[in-house]
Structures are given as structure tokens and as C-alpha cells.
Copies of this chain bind each other. A is one copy, B any other.
Amino acid sequence: MSFDETSQILDVPRGGPLELARAKSSFNWKKMKLFFEDLDLINYKNQIWDTLRKDADFIRPTEEPSLMEQKKICQKRCLKIKKYNFINEDIQMERPLKRILFDEAIVLWDIDTSVKYSLHFQMFEQLLKTLGTLRHQQFVEGCEKGDIFGCFAMTEMSHGSNTKNLKTTAHYDPKTEEFVINTPSIEDCKIWVGNLGKFATHSAVYAQLYTPDNQCHGLHIFIVPVRDPYTMALKPGVICGEMGPKAGLNGVDNGFATFNQVRIPRENLLNKTGDVTPDGVYVSPIKDAKKRFGISLGALSNGRVGLTYYAHSVQGMALTIALRYAAARKQFGEPETPILEYQSHEYRLMPLLAIRYTWHAFSMSFFDNLSEFLIGLFTGDKSDRQAELGREIHAISCVSKPASSWNTQRVIQECREACGGHGYLKASRLGDLRNSNDPLLTFEGDNNVLIQQTRQLAETPLKTVEFLRNFDQKLQVKFKSNSKEDLLNQKSLMEMFDWLICYMVKISHDKLQNNLKKGQDLFTARNENQVFYSKSLALIFMERQLIERFIEKINQNKDESLGKVLNRILYLAGLYLLDNHVGLFYQGGFYSTEKPVFLIRECILELCRELRDDAMGLVDAMAPPDFVLNSVLGESNGE
């Protein structure tokens, strides 16, 4: 890394209440920033932010606008961002990571706008491109020209998580070569659809496809015009409106819709995986139903990988706010001490910061996997590696999205509390962050339902996951560190995670077999294996991922000046996560005396203290500029 590169990163303000805390840093924060994102990426985000900053449409209102006004502002911003053409296929091809950094740039600025934008430009348009064919090019062009504004209508009033049972129908009528979209009863109306409340002209509707012989061919996606793009009048047979005020995200117009025998041309079916001939015969280019399913899995992973990244970046803002406040705020002691220097405050925040760093490395590396997979899709790669990658991304995203969004929700709450009364000011932004992150726990797969999908791990213990080789041997290992030195190294950490996973796999597997032996069917046996087993296993699996990928990342570091602090982050994050599983370590015999707990906790507290001196450097390396952060508490000058 050359001196030139750091010099191209803007300084933080000199002076002010954070000066003292910054002076303690053991490393150059600009080098740390460059270790995670190169200059090309940093500049890319900064250019986006600079553009928004200079645009009057992006000025933050001084008073909270009415709900209606919020939706209008959000819509306007969304279209404006599209016009700026910050991201397009060329940019994405050249540097896939820019797709997600673009999302991050917008999310940090304004979460509502980002959600609205991705519903139209990423979900709707993406569906047209991936599941549509040439004949849908007209819709893509409509999106690009701004004649079409889309939304994605899956959820129904009676069926949310259980998408298989959606009731909306699409009957094919060969006489007119049309599909007839219909909502059987009021309980089957589409709900929650983002953009549908007010602005959408077209909706991608999930419906059960019926051929004239009255056979059902399962869920397919139909492009249904819902409003006239010029007058915004509803199309005949379509009734839709607003869901009403929400706990947050009120810039997005979530809506409901019923379809009363709405006719659309046969060509509006997205037909990549299945089609109906003009005379009404169902045909599919992909014979293998499993493979068809695989393709749509891929499309869904896309969103979850994005949300994983999205949540971790919101988390970074909350920690920036709370840590800068903690370094500047003094209370008690003589002379008065910054609250960050109290053991309990340190322990509340420093491990969360360390873990945020592991999420950062993970989210980028995971997005790299996704990009590789998508390029494979695009180039028609049919290799085993491609298929494996698809399944792996699916499995990991089913736990990374829940884990990332849950973790972020907890971190925001802790940061709010860590700022005392000031954290409760709207102007701290912490309340808004909490309210806006909250729906992530539910949409694109409810967290608690999604996480059940990773149960495969427990059911085929020895095949799925590489590190489960030498299963029995790994289970034999016992805690044997006698000192800090024994404990604080990559091998010890990974040994502990491996043992933990093997033990969890073992007891989950035993439990499931037991359930089956008791005569339970598989559906019940799996359900009764959720609590204490599958769910915990999935979350521990995720924690191991975080640590494993962070190790991969820091092993690439060549800069000695960063080595120490990167190791401390690793050790603190790793031990803190492991320390949540003390019970399991004893239960399975990995610990057998009081000592491991005392030793590990001593190390945790020591690492908190050591890392505290680097807290401001670590924050500066991850914080967006003040005008993006937009919090009266977290400003870079500490005031």
C-alpha cells in the first residue's frame, strides 16, 4: 500500500472532544479502510454521496413531513437516483462489488429510498431479466424509460411464509389467448406489496397457473398492469390501496390488491422456466422440476445476500454513533472519565464493534460468491462447482440474513441505551434506524421460518460441510489452553468452533432420530427439533462462518502496522461469540473445570481494554461522512 493512497482519503476534523481518544490509536485508520475497500470502491461511494449532497431533492427536511409527503419525496428520490445512472450492467460487469456498494451508499443515506429503489429496479426489473425472455424486453425498456414502475406481489393476507399455498389464480383462456388473474376471496388479497400503494403501474404477481383442462401447474409470475402510467387510474378489475401507517419505512407505499377476473395477454407470463402454448398446453424447457426450483432459489438468494450486507452496514452506523458518543461523553470519576472507559460500557460496545468487523469481511466475501454464481448463470456455466455454489449460497443466505438482521436490531438497541437520554432524541437517528431495520426480520423470508431451512446441516452430518470431515476426531478434542498464549491463536479458536458444531450436529442428529423412533412423521420430527437444536446449530454455523472468513481476510494482510489490531478484533469477536456457549462446552465435556471460563473472560476483558484505545480509529475506518450519518451524536468532530 503506497503513501499516495491514504493521502487521497479525506481527513477527519482536527481538534474537538475526540482528538484525545483518536491520539491513542495504534494504527492509521486510512490504511485500515483501504484494507477492506480499495480506492476505486471508496471513491465510487464518495462520488454517489457527493452527488446526492448537492441535489436539492436530497436535502433532509427539518420537520418530519406528513406520511403522504414522505412517500412522494421517496418516490422522487428514487427516480432521481435512477437518472444519475450510478449503477448499470457495464459497471456491474467490470466490478461486481459496486452493485452492493451502491446499495450501501443509498441505504446509509436514506433507508426508505433504498428499499423502494431495489423493489423496482432490482427485484422487478431483475425478475423480468432472469425469469422473463425476449418478449419481455418491452417491459425492461419501459422500466428504463420510466413508463413502468414495478412491484413484487407475492404475500397474501392468509399466506405469508407459506408461499406454496398462495391462492391467487391465473386461468388460461385460449379463445382470447389471455390469462385471467383472480383473487378467490378477500383473505387471498395481495398485501404488503411495496410500491403498490400509490405509485406502481405494473405488478409481478405470483399466482397458480391453470391450463384449460383445469390442471394446476403451480406458482408462476405474471406481469399485471395495475395503473395507467399517465393518469394513475386503476385498471379495470383491480382494486388496490395503501396498507396504512407502519412502525417505520413510511416513505415506501406498501399496498394491497385484489384482482377481479383481470385479463392480461398470454405473453405477460414470465416464461423462462415454463410456458403455455397459444392453444393452452403447458410446456417447460426445463424438464427437471428440481432444477426449475433451483433457478428460482438462486433468484431469492440474491435478495437475502443483499439484506445481509444491508443490515451490517446499518449496524456500522449505530456503532459509530454510540462509540463516538462514548468517547466524548464524560460521567463520574475525578477527573470525569469518558464513559467508554468504564468496564461495563467497554464490554457493552467493544465486542459488538469487533463482531461488526467480522460481518464486514463476511458480507463482502459472501457477495463475491454471489457474483461468481450470477456470472456463471449469465454465461450458462453448467459445472458441478456452479451447482454446489448455488446450494451453498442458498443455505448460507438462509441463516446470514436472519443472523445479520437480528444482530443489527440488538446492536441498535444497545447503542440507543449506551447514549443515555440523548440516544432517545429523534435527531440521534437511533430510533429511526431501529424502526427501519425491524421489517428486515420479516420480509424476504421471516427469520424464524428461514432459519429452519438450514436444518440439512443436522440431517446429513457427514456430507454437506467440508469442515465436518474427521467428525469423531474433532469431537474428541478437549479444552487444553493453560494461558492467554495457548488460547489466542487462529488454531485454538477454530478448534473450539469445530468442536461446537460437531457436538451440535451430534445432539441434533440424535434428537431427530429419537423423534422418528418415537413414531413421529418427518414434518413433526423436524418441528420438534427446532428449539435448542436446529436453530442454535444454524446460528453457531453462522458464527463459525464469520470467524473463518475473517481469518481468511486478515491472513491476506501484508501491513505490519495493522497486524496487531486485526488480531485483537479476531480474538475478541471469536471469544465473545464462543463465550455465549459456555453451557454447551460443559455439557459435551469440552470444559470440565471452572478454569476455561475464567481464562476466556479474563482475555475478553483484556481485549476490550486493549482494543478500546483503537476504538476511534476503527470507527473512522468504517464511518460514512457526517452528512450521510446524519446524527447529532455521532459527528466526526465529537460535538
Using a CB–CB cutoff of 8 Å, the interface residues on chain A facing chain B are 64, 67, 155, 158-162, 165, 191-192, 243-248, 330-333, 336, 342-345, 347-348, 409, 413, 416-417, 420-421, 423-428, 430-432, 434-435, 438-439, 441-443, 446-448, 452, 523, 527-528, 530-532, 535, 582-583, 586-588, 591, 594, 597, 601, 605
Contact = CB atoms under 8 A, between A and B. Distances in A.
Given A161-B420, A416-B438, A431-B435, A426 B247 contact: yes
Contact of A531 (B161, B347, B417): B347
A331 B331 CA distance: 51
A248 B162 contact: no
B426 A246 contact: yes
B343 A527 contact: yes
B421 A155 contact: yes
B424 A247 contact: yes
17 contacts: A158-B330, A160-B331, A161-B331, A243-B425, A245-B427, A246-B431, A343-B527, A344-B448, A345-B448, A420-B442, A424-B438, A431-B438, A531-B605, A582-B586, A583-B583, A583-B597, A587-B597
Contact of A417 (B64, B245, B448): B448
A588 to B, nearest CB: 7
A67 to B, nearest CB: 7
Contacts of A447: 417
A91 B40 CA distance: 72
Contact of A586 (B439, B523, B527, B591): B591
Nearest to A417: B441
Nearest to A586: B586
Contact of A162 (B332, B423, B441): B332
A331 B162 contact: yes
A432 B435 CA distance: 10
A420 B162 CA distance: 12
Nearest to A579: B583
A413 B409 contact: yes
Please indicate which of the listed interface residues A67, A452, A535, A586 has the most CB atoms of chain B within 10 Å of its own CB: A586
Nearest to A534: B344
Given A245-B427, A582-B583, A421 B442 contact: yes
A192 B421 contact: yes
Contacts of A523: 333
A348 to B, nearest CB: 7
Contacts of A246: 424-426, 431
A247 B430 contact: yes
A442 B417 contact: yes
A560 to B, nearest CB: 32
Contacts of A527: 342-344
Contacts of A248: 424, 431
B446 A424 contact: no
Contacts of A591: 586
A436 B413 CA distance: 13
Given A409-B413, A528-B605, 17 more contacts: A64-B245, A160-B331, A161-B331, A161-B332, A165-B336, A245-B426, A247-B424, A344-B448, A344-B531, A417-B447, A420-B442, A424-B438, A435-B435, A532-B601, A582-B586, A586-B591, A587-B597
A469 B322 CA distance: 43
A344 B582 contact: no
A123 to B, nearest CB: 16
